[in-house]
Amino acid sequence: MERFGLVVEAYGPVMASPSTPARPSPSSEASAASAASEASAASAASEASAASEASAASEASEAPAARLPGRPHLTELRLSAFAGHRRADFPLGPLTLFAGRSGSGKTSALRAYAALARLGGGAALGEAFPDAAACVPDGARPDGQRRRGFRIGCTADGPEGPVRLDVAVQAEPQLRLVGERLTADGVVLLETALRDPARRSVEAAWHTGGPSPMTRASLPDDRLGTALLPLRVAGRTRGQRRVLAAAEQMVVALRSVFACDPRPGRMRFPVPTGTGRLLGGCDNLADVLWRTRAECGRRHAQLVAAVRAGCTGPVVDVRAEPLGDGRVRALLDRGHGTGTALGRLGDGELRYVALALVLLTGPGVLEVDPAGEVPAALQTLTVLADGLDRSLDPRQRDELLRLAARMCERGHVRLVGAVSDASWAIGARGVTVVHLDP
């Protein structure tokens, strides 16, 4: 099948662990291809930073997931034609590890997930894909008008059952979303296609179910139509309400994503006090500790226990102290009036402390875009961690996996990480390993 000038072949070597093969996805290919083929000219939200909200989210996350059924979450990531991936259909569990050598596509899989999350939050296409040309499949040939692109998708499960989203993006010569399809139970709820390349819009049709089975309108070609539906669909008919419910489930599942890659070199220094919301590189770890230590004693005690298990020497507390100039520094309290500044720790210890803090907090503490219109107890934070095991020794790696598995089982958080070798995680309870090496 040819799309965006590329003959797409099966992507065979992908396998999901422990022994289940990652499925090549003819259905996702057909769904995305249909959305893209409709394009005749292309062959291709609110902050939650208040202390009370953070504490409430923290307390809610203590309950097991079984008590909070129906949280929207992604169960599949489809890379039909994206970077080095072809017809790849990856299962996503509460704790998923992409494993493979350098160049196997781990980072590109996480990049696709993060881009879908930004689109779900209402970001423009250029924000989601700042280097769209790098997402075009390897070897893709431009068509007669020099157009190339890529296709990705996902499945979100929740109260509405599995809902599928597939999008086709034209990357060159002009970035635009040329096809989108939202389906549930085999019913197409939304479909868009580029009809006139001269116009910066796509033609959209969504399910109505009343006297007129479909409603048609134009939508911008730089935004995800699914994220715009709550603003365009009245919800008067049963069919419209079904469209709204499916779209909202997908959007909630995609939002509240935190891409995290702690940078020890920037975590060693004192930082100014600020919002107390952790950045993706964890540069402001000291500022966050200054805030969270006082907000939830139980959660902070869990952090101290995790740090004690993964760091060398006695640890009786993890805290931040003011320096008198508007800055704070983080340190490990060793007891008996002694302490070790985090700046003196090794890279592995710093990354371990930062990742443990991320797993033990929530959207009110992390720099994410939570769905403010949905109660915190019905949301799930998804952490994307590229190089999850980087610089960690075996003890830290194992302790971090145990902590992640425990938090993911409770439904507080979902983790999608990338590691070079996942042999140490295979067989661990609640862990899905996706092998990308041939």
**d(Cα 70, Cα 73) in Å, to the nearest integer?**
9
Which CATH number is 258-431 given? 3.40.50
What DSSP element (H or E) covers 419? strand 413-419
- Say which residue, 105 or 438, is predicted with more confidence: 105
pLDDT tens-digit series, residues 200-242:
999 999 998 777 788 999 999 999 999 999 988 988 899 999 9
Token pair for 170: 């034209």
- The confidence band for 427, taking pLDDT boundaries of 50, 70 and 90, is confident
The pLDDT value recorded for residue 369 is 63
What DSSP element (H or E) covers 54? helix 51-60
The pLDDT value recorded for residue 362 is 75
What percent of the chain stands above pLDDT 90? Answer: 66
SS3 157: strand
The pLDDT value recorded for residue 65 is 39
The pLDDT value recorded for residue 101 is 93
Tell me the C-alpha to C-alpha distance, in Å, between residue 157 and each of 70, 114, 185, 267, 323.
8, 18, 12, 37, 48
| Sequence spans of domains, the chain | 2-46+72-256, 258-431
What DSSP element (H or E) covers 106? helix 106-120
| Long-range contacts of residues 129-135, Cβ cutoff 8 Å, at least 24 apart | 129/169, 129/171, 129/175, 132/169, 132/171, 132/172, 132/175, 133/171, 133/172, 134/83, 135/82, 135/83, 135/108, 135/111, 135/169, 135/171
The pLDDT value recorded for residue 372 is 58
Q: Which of 277, 268, 225, 249 shows the shortest CA–CA distance to 50? A: 277
Which pTM does this prediction carry?
Answer: 0.82
Alpha helices in 296-393 (DSSP H): 297-310, 347-359
- The confidence band for 378, taking pLDDT boundaries of 50, 70 and 90, is low
Q: Calculate ∠ Cα 118-121-127, nearest 5°.
A: 35
Token pair for 394: 């075996």
Residue 4 has pLDDT above 50, yes or no: no
Residue 163 φ then ψ, to 5°: -125, 130
